[in-house]
Amino acid sequence: MTMDQRPHRNPALPPRRPTTPPILRSRFALGLTAAAASGRFALQECLDCGAIQYPPREACHCCLSDRLEWRPRDGAGTLLAVTCVRKPYETYFRERAPWRTGIVRLDCGVSVVAYLHGRCAEPPARVRVRACLDRAGRAVLAALPDKDVTDMTDDPLMREFSNSPKGRHVLVTDGTSEIGQAMAIAAAEAGAETVWVGASERWKAAPGFEALSTIPQVTLLPLDVTDTQSVDTLAGQIGGKVDILFNTAEFHRTHSALSRRGVETARVEMEVNYFGLLRLAQAFGPAMSARAAEVPTNAVAWVNVLSVFALANYPSQGTFSASKAAALSLAQCLRAEFRPAGLRVLNVFPGPVDEAWNQTELPPKIAPRRLAADVVRALEDGLEDLFPDPVARDWYERWRADPKVLELELTA
């Protein structure tokens, strides 16, 4: 096992309790967060007169229409005024003060209060505003320099919003699959200090598994998510050190409800895809929550590789879809329970992945390496939901428009 090179907490001092920024938002303001969760910056636009609204509201400030719709914006604007808050009121902010904020006049005609990236030029300066999730999982606006600069993501503000694997200890729960291997490699390439990779039955592993051990940061460990004792044993060894958990453990078969008699296969899908997540959450979740404030070496995120079939059942993979829907539901519960600690749950919703069990699926299929790279990027960007490929995005768009219509399309 890799030696822990990071500074240890002084055991004589009380552990730093997690604090988060203010979580309260009006219901009508949550549209900003809903868009930011998957990396989009959207503002309300009046469908009657076209006026852009900010802060979010219930009626148009120009024509009083209530037909306001969240629509993507490019965030281009001019930074007009800056301050540096040195004496905040809330504990979370006090612990991390000072905070640079400013007023940006967006080109679409509204003024926004936003955090400032450290490399923004003095006002008046052109900036790009994007919506990021803060440690409470709520959207806040951040102004970035007009053009990318080097070490863009090393800014302290961006680090606070990001859940980057860089310098962190990560656990990939199953390295026997192509997705798990790709995730372990991507985490190592992104600068993870330690990559623990679990495996239940190594003899069943996809080619490339043994080669993982040639990566310096990687340590292969026994882990069977269907076995509570196995999960608890590993949590006892490394549970107090995991900063990011990638749950890649997955059992994938392609059966519908009627294509096969008996429940055995479906039960294994549930054992791995649903109960596996629950076992991992119970074994690793509390320690990760407790370590969420131990900056800079804190626990930051939990990644679930789900499937876009979790949103609506894909009948040719009907029982698999059901197990992923169950996992999604549990992941939402986990998100609520991790929220007070500021721990991010990133749910990944790929369409068909280019691996053996999707042999008969037609392209496009996302390659495991590509999927893993997108997951790392999503962590760096602080996202909560990732739809990484064209099929996933297509499904997501249809689902958002009308879940019933999507169901009708899928069951045609």
Partner 1 sequence: MTPRRLGYDGVVLAAPVTVPYERFSTRSAHWFLGRAMRALVESSGLEKQAIDGLCVTSMSLAPDTAIGMVEHLGFQPRWLDNVTFGGASGMIALRRAARAVQVGDAEIVACVAGDTNQTDSFRRGTAAFSQFGQDAVYPYGSGGPNASVALLTDNYMRTYGAELADFGRICVAQRANALGNPQALFSKPLTLEQYLKSPLIADPIRLYDCVMPCAGAEAFLVMREETARAEGLPFARLVGAIERHNAFPDDPVQDRGGWIVDREELFAQAGVTPEAVDFVQAYDDYPVIVFLQIEDLGFCGKGEAKDFLAGHDLTTTGSFPINTSGGQLSVGQAGGAGGFLGIVESIRQLTGQTVGTPVPDAKIGLVSGFGMINYDRGLSTGAALLAA
Q: Which residues bind partner 1 (CB under 8 A)?
A: 21-22, 24-26, 29, 54-56, 61, 80-90, 93, 97, 99, 101-103, 105, 109, 111-115, 123, 134, 136, 138, 140
Q: Give me the least distance between CB of 141 and partner 1, in Å please.
A: 8
> Closer CB to partner 1, residue 162 or residue 307?
162
Q: Give me the least distance between CB of 342 and partner 1, in Å please.
A: 13
Cis geometry, peptide bond prior to residue 14 (ω within 30 degrees of 0) = no
> Closer CB to partner 1, residue 30 or residue 268?
30
Q: Give me the least distance between CB of 380 and partner 1, in Å please.
A: 22
> Closer CB to partner 1, residue 111 or residue 411?
111
Phi/psi for 149 (5° steps) reads -115, 165
Residue 149 DSSP label: -
> Closer CB to partner 1, residue 27 or residue 261?
27
> Closer CB to partner 1, residue 125 or residue 371?
125
> Closer CB to partner 1, residue 159 or residue 370?
159
β-pair type (125-133, 76-85): antiparallel
Q: Give me the least distance between CB of 113 and partner 1, in Å please.
A: 5
Q: Give me the least distance between CB of 24 and partner 1, in Å please.
A: 6
Q: Which two tokens stand for residue 118?
A: 């450290």
Alpha carbon distance 19, 16 (integer Å): 9
Helices (H), 251-305: 264-269, 276-290
Contact 345, 383 (CB under 8 A): no
The kind and range of the H/E element at 220 are: strand 218-222
The kind and range of the H/E element at 104 are: strand 99-106
208: left (phi over 0), alpha (psi -120 to 50) or beta: left
Q: Which residues of 381-393 are buried (b: 16+ CB within 10 A; e: fewer)?
A: bbbbbbbbbebbe
Q: Give me the least distance between CB of 54 and partner 1, in Å please.
A: 7
> Closer CB to partner 1, residue 96 or residue 119?
96
Q: Give me the least distance between CB of 87 and partner 1, in Å please.
A: 5
